[in-house]
């Protein structure tokens, strides 16, 4: 286990799980449950460190607090290739759920590499999961695009702040999975022009705009975005080349730390709205701010998924959850940008101060502060 830095907020609990009979290895970080049981996704990947899992859990603590949800922050990582054979994946997910059955401070949700079906397996084993399939009474947040729906409303408020119309605005989306593809769909419906999309296999771009329906059809067949048809103005490159595509809005919607001090100068945009968790290093975000690029922090902009999960946990309908997402994202982004305007600070600083106050107030009502 790698060394972690502990502070006033946590982490409260770090658990590593190992069961060689099924090649199970996983990590759970429950960061802070002062506001209630933590909600956080199960990320399936072969290369996520304990330190990264903690950073993701901390982002969930602040995200849930900023969204004013009665939940703390947690995150878990199941080590493995999410494209493994379905029977093997089901066995691993079920085993991981059983290993963490007694950790009642953590509620499983979907994340990169896991989906509604995986959450159905978790619920079957331990009865504690959100983002469930409709067939068992859930709200399939990835299927309906809950995070992308929230990003749309965050972007609308950010466009108002910059006094620009969303219609006609050019957008590049780095990561075209559950978050990215729905974000593209919602933005295109509002008249935005998607000029670039990237996934793990490469980047496709076109200054005149890509046909979002064609991109969605390719992903529906599990194809890469570089499978997009050739045509006038269409260019293709490696996955990182999307950083070089000029656009008005750049949306990271994949892995952490894709924008760093060593590549941030390549970005040619006036706004970054984070669909992924911790997609930029703090240093890179500061550089962008100093260049006049508006950066809407991850735990503010991409809260749609966890808001939907919390609403499902409370028994709300899908329609009610989508309405709450729009309401909370609009209010929170507007509140953060009002603070930025009045105090001349980084958006992240304004957002973190807001989240910190809410978590500290909850901790002050607890006997042991963190739990």
**Residue 87, Cβ density class (10 Å: 0-12 exposed, 13-18 middle, ≥19 buried):** exposed
Q: What tokens does 42 get?
A: 């199960």
- The answer for residues whose C-beta is within 8 angstroms of residue 6's C-beta and 6 or more apart is none
Q: What are phi and psi of 199, to 5 degrees?
A: -135, -170
DSSP letters, 256-270, are TT-B-TTTGGG---S
Closest CA to 275 of 357, 152, 158, 126: 152
- Rounded-to-5 percentages of helix, strand, coil across the chain: 45, 20, 35
Sheet holding 38-45, edge to edge: 13-19, 24-32, 73-79, 38-45, 106-110
Closest CA to 178 of 118, 99, 238, 136: 118
Q: What are phi and psi of 29, to 5 degrees?
A: -120, 115
Instruction: Please report where in the chains the tokens 């939940």 appear, as a residue.
Output: 71
* Active-site residue, from 13, 63, 75, 156: 75
Say if residues 333 and 300 touch (Cβ distance below 8 Å).
Answer: yes
Within a 13 Å sphere around the CA of 322, how many CA atoms are in the beta-carbon half? 14
- Using only the alpha carbons of the chain, give its radius of gyration: 20
Distance, CA of 294 to CA of 201 (rounded, Å): 28
User: Judging by DSSP bridges, how do beta strands 202-205 and 193-199 pair with one another?
Assistant: antiparallel
Please count the other Cβ atoms lying within 10 Å of the Cβ belonging to residue 135: 9
Determine whether 286 is an active site residue: no
* Residues acting as catalytic residues: 75
């Amino acid at each position: 286990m790698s060394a972690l830095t502990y502070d006033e907020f946590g982490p409260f609990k770090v658990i590593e799980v190992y069961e060689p009979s099924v090649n199970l290895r996983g990590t759970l970080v429950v960061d802070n449950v002062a506001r209630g049981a933590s909600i956080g996704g199960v990320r399936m990947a072969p290369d996520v460190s304990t330190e990264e899992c903690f950073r993701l859990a901390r982002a969930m603590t602040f995200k849930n607090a900023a969204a004013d949800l009665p939940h703390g922050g947690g995150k878990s990582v199941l080590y493995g290739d999410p494209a493994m054979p379905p029977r093997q994946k089901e066995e691993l997910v079920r085993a991981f759920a059983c290993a963490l059955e007694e950790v009642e401070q953590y509620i499983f949700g979907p994340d990169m590499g896991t989906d509604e079906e995986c959450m159905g397996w978790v619920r079957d084993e331990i009865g504690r999961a959100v983002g469930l399939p409709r067939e068992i009474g859930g709200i399939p947040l990835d299927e309906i695009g809950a995070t992308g729906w929230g990003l749309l409303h965050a972007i609308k408020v950010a466009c108002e702040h910059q006094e620009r119309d969303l219609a006609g605005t050019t957008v590049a989306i780095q990561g075209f999975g559950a978050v990215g593809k729905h974000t593209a769909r919602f933005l295109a419906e509002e008249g935005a022009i998607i000029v670039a999309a990237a996934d793990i296999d490469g980047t496709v771009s076109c200054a005149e705009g890509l046909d979002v329906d064609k991109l969605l059809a390719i992903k529906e067949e599990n194809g890469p975005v570089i499978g997009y048809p050739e045509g006038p103005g269409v260019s293709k490159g490696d996955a990182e080349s999307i950083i070089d595509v000029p656009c008005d809005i750049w949306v990271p919607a994949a892995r952490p730390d894709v924008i760093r001090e060593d590549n941030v100068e390549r970005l040619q945009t006036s706004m970054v709205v984070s669909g992924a968790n911790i997609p930029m290093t703090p240093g890179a975000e500061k550089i962008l701010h100093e260049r006049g690029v508006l950066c809407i922090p991850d735990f503010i902009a991409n809260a749609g998924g966890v808001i939907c999960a919390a609403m499902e946990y409370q028994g709300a309908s899908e329609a009610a959850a989508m309405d709450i997402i729009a309401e909370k994202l609009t209010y929170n982004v507007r509140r953060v940008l009002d603070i930025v305007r009045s105090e001349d600070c980084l958006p992240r600083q304004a957002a973190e101060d807001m989240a910190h106050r809410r978590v500290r107030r909850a901790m002050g009502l607890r006997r042991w502060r963190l739990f």
